[in-house]
Structure 1
Amino acid sequence: MNRRALLAFALVSTLAIPAAAQENPATFDTLLDEAESLAPLETVIVSRYGEIVAERGYRGNSVTDPTNIKSASKSIVSALVGIAIDKGVLEGPDQKIAPLLADDLPDDADPRVHDITIGHLLSMQAGLGRTSGGNYGRWVSSRNWVRAALAMPFDDEPGGRMLYSTGSTHLLSAILTRQTGRSTLELARDWLGPLDGFSIGSWERDPQGIYLGGNQMAMTPRSLAAFGELYRNGGETPDGERLVSAEWIETSWRPRTNSRFNGDGYGYGWFLREIAGAKVVYGWGYGGQMLYVVPELDLTVVMTSDEASPSARSGHRNDLHGLLGEIIEAARRAES
């Protein structure tokens, strides 16, 4: 089985686990013991070559209990869009969204709405004003979240700078629902369900019953790790069943813009940066819900945190990046 990983960076991993790479579990265990000092941190899972080598739950939390993964769910919505394209449900990233959401277009919609593509929504380059941050509460208080997102004033041209907005991924959820006649949750359970360990628990819906694309999704840390492993393994399950095309993973992990939050690259639902000298792709949710994939080291790491505590301005996100850096260095030492 070909264990292709970060195709965007042209990295390929091998099937066999080198003898020199057999981890001393205590190395990772020590790091995870010390990580308990990061007060908002609730769980950590470290997986190499498809096997969990260390995991922890702190302050009464468990890796098997559902948690709100917040915006890390945007990576999952991206996967569903990729699968829909492969199945012919959607044409591709260049497909215009206006015809797909015609019933919800405001009567006085800005003409630029007709230039927005599926790819623009995935990369947060729709140009529409943000429905995240200070606008989030007003947006989810509206009677029609899809229409409200499409009615936001344009802050840039479609394809312009990154404007991080949960409304963009919610529009993708609405598109998937309209094009298939099935809920996004049903699609996720069908299309990703063959992945052992993958499951989605509760998930918030809008007033029209559309599942919230890119937020308020409950998953266990182990389930999130299983999803990360699917991408690390090039879209195949451990049994060799293909769920996501390798081409879609390459497309998703190709940097298209940069985050205004931290300058990191952003693809289709994934952030990209270098940590401890390694190229890393990651999903990030409010509070510090992190899914890291480090293909060159066959490494997948999940970290979940208190969902009520901001992770960016508090510095907690940087602490989590630092912890990942220590895990990366430990993985390298295991191979030396």
Structure 2
Amino acid sequence: MDSALEIQKPHDQLAAFLSDDMVAVNALIRDRMASEHAPRIPEVTAHLVEAGGKRLRPMMTLAAAHMCGYDGPFHVHLAATVEFIHTATLLHDDVVDESGQRRGRPTANLLWDNKSSVLVGDYLFSRSFQLMVETGSLRVLDILANASATIAEGEVLQLTAAQDLATTEAIYLQVVRGKTAALFSAATEVGGVIAGADDATVQALYDYGDALGVSFQIVDDLLDYQGQAAATGKNIGDDFRERKLTLPVIKAIALADAEERAFWQRTIEKGVQEDGDLDHALTLLNTHGTLAATRDDALAWAEKGKAALDGLPDHPVKQMLIDLADYVVDRVN
């Protein structure tokens, strides 16, 4: 009964539809994360790659290629490329954020050290570029190389924006478009490109990935304040403790009186946090209705993603991608 219910989740439906391709992607990932001279590379990579992630981004590449009628071998290379880029950024992120937990397990930097995480991340980036080149498509290389640069740019922008009370929703969106949405949109875009889809279709796939990525990150930021640790693999309030200005807080600061603003300055800008501060932050977010407003924003982006697929021909995958956009927001009760 439970397994039948589980398969109804859009990412499970996608995984079932793409199961043969995903077997090939996983085999390619295992093959390319091997290292003849540095056994620590597969050790560190396996810890993260096999930690039970949903493989959402590579599945989006495969889904886009299928929807566009592709029957060649290179969508598998591109899906593995996307997963390598994603894994590399996670390894680097956990060092930058000094994180101790990822997907409910200790992070690589905690189990090994920061040096291993950074250098293995670099190795995976390099591997991803080797895979891209094997497709023989300069356009694919251009898209994924740009995405890699945009991801790094978003992370660096977040360094300065995350603890600055002057950060606006527009800057937040720029960060999110960089660090999260850039890989979602590249994942779907290259699936269309490798299939030889027309420009309008490729643009639609890009727009879908971009909107889904923004919605996904907004929901992640929302779950940090109202999720269940068992489900998210994170502790409630991690972003607050790490002094990250995310959308619920940015909205609350815009509505804050002088006393509330002083609270945010002390806890986020100065990093002076005391017992009870997280509870007070949650009270302010609820008082100003910013959690609900943030969810509304996530819903709007999900609708934008679904609308991008409107003009594409009917295909079993198309409905799964539409359902996926709904599911991303449904993670928030």
TM-score, normalised to structure 1, is 0.31
Larger relative helix fraction: 2
- Which one has a larger percent strand, Structure 1 or Structure 2? 1
* Larger relative contact order (CA 8 Å, sep ≥ 6): 1
